[in-house]
Amino acid sequence: MNKRWTTIFALLVASATGAVCAQEIKGNAKAAEGKVAMCIGCHGIVGYKASFPEVYQVPKISGQSEKYIDAALHAYKKGDRKHPTMRAIADSLSEQDIADLAAYYAQHTVGETQLADKPSKVPSAEVAELLKKGTCVSCHGDNFSKPLDPSYAKLGGQHPDYLYAALKSYTVEKNTRIGRNHPIMVGMAKQLTHAEMKALANYIGSLDGPLQVVPESRFRSKQAAN
């Protein structure tokens, strides 16, 4: 076998091995109990707020799907999401850590949440047009909480100010500290004015949803430094 084919064969073997390893990584929610200290200081406090790049409540992550949390952490790790604090945290995590944390927060809820197929509130005519324009339901599903793909976010009941900040982040370009890069969301967000983003965020955040902040009694509410 000549050098060229040896190289190609080695690359194929490496790719196949990597794919097999990725498939073998299973999240262990119990194991994550010893890994969540870096998460609960923000996501485990009711009313906790970030102050960069603006003040907003940090997102509810308890009850998000396992695949979404996994995808979000990998996006920070790759730099597709640029929040400095979250990037630093994601960079410190192994593939197993990410899988464990994703499994933990997917089941980290109190009580049961049963959602109807239709949103709990009827949107205004303006918001209804914006939802149609952004085709939000086509990805995020019924009640904005049953995503078409489990790697997409559940949105219903998420903090409105966080949703607004997240939507704006998809329109940021050429900034190493803020912004998100997701082709579908970038295309959708760039159709909207800030006022339209806020109207969407306020409506979707007002709905009943499965997302929760499960309080950590050892912490008190306060504003985050990140």
Q: Give the chain's length.
A: 226
Q: Choose among 58, 59, 53: nearest CA to 168.
A: 53
CA separation for the pair 68, 141 (Å, rounded):
14
> What would the pLDDT profile of 127-179 be if each residue is shown by its tens digit?
999 999 999 999 999 999 999 999 999 999 999 999 999 999 999 999 999 99
Is pLDDT above 70 for 16? no
Under DSSP, the state recorded for 180 is B
> What would the pLDDT profile of 98-134 be if each residue is shown by its tens digit?
999 999 999 999 988 788 778 889 999 999 999 999 9
SS (H, E, C) 110-159: CCCCCCCCCCCCCCCHHHHHHHHHHCHHHHHCHHHCCCCCCCCCCCCCCC
Band (223; pLDDT cuts 50, 70, 90): very low
